[in-house]
Amino acid sequence: MLVQTLSGEEMSPEMQGDKILEDPESSSTIRTYLTGKVKSRYKEKLEDHTSEIEELAAENGAKYINVSTEKDFFESFFDIWELINK
């Protein structure tokens, strides 16, 4: 079972304009200017990345589910439980 968790902001960023982004795991930063085109490209790359993960999981006999951190924990747990018991 492979569970990918993403926040709503990761799935569909609301921010725009001149921003400094910080990686919470490494504390590294990058300055960027977020336009509609940049956000659109980001979403495309995220979808491609997620599809690759899902394909790799399937190739290795694993089930895959993407869970939003915006969703209630128990609802997410139930979704995962249902997928495991299919």
> Is pTM beyond 0.85 here?
no
* Tokens representing residue 39 in the block: 């956000």
Q: What is the mean pLDDT of the chain?
A: 91
Q: What are phi and psi of 57, to 5 degrees?
A: -60, -45
Under 8 Å between Cβ of 33 and 41: no
Residues 66-81 pLDDT 10s: 888 988 888 888 888 8
User: Domain count of the chain?
Assistant: 1
The alpha carbon of 46 is separated from its chain's Cα centroid by a whole number of angstroms, namely: 7
Looking at residue 73, what is its pLDDT?
87
In this predicted structure, the answer to whether residue 21 has a pLDDT above a threshold of 90 is no
Range of the domain at 75: 2-84
Report the candidate in 18, 60, 11 with the shortest Cα–Cα distance to residue 35.
18
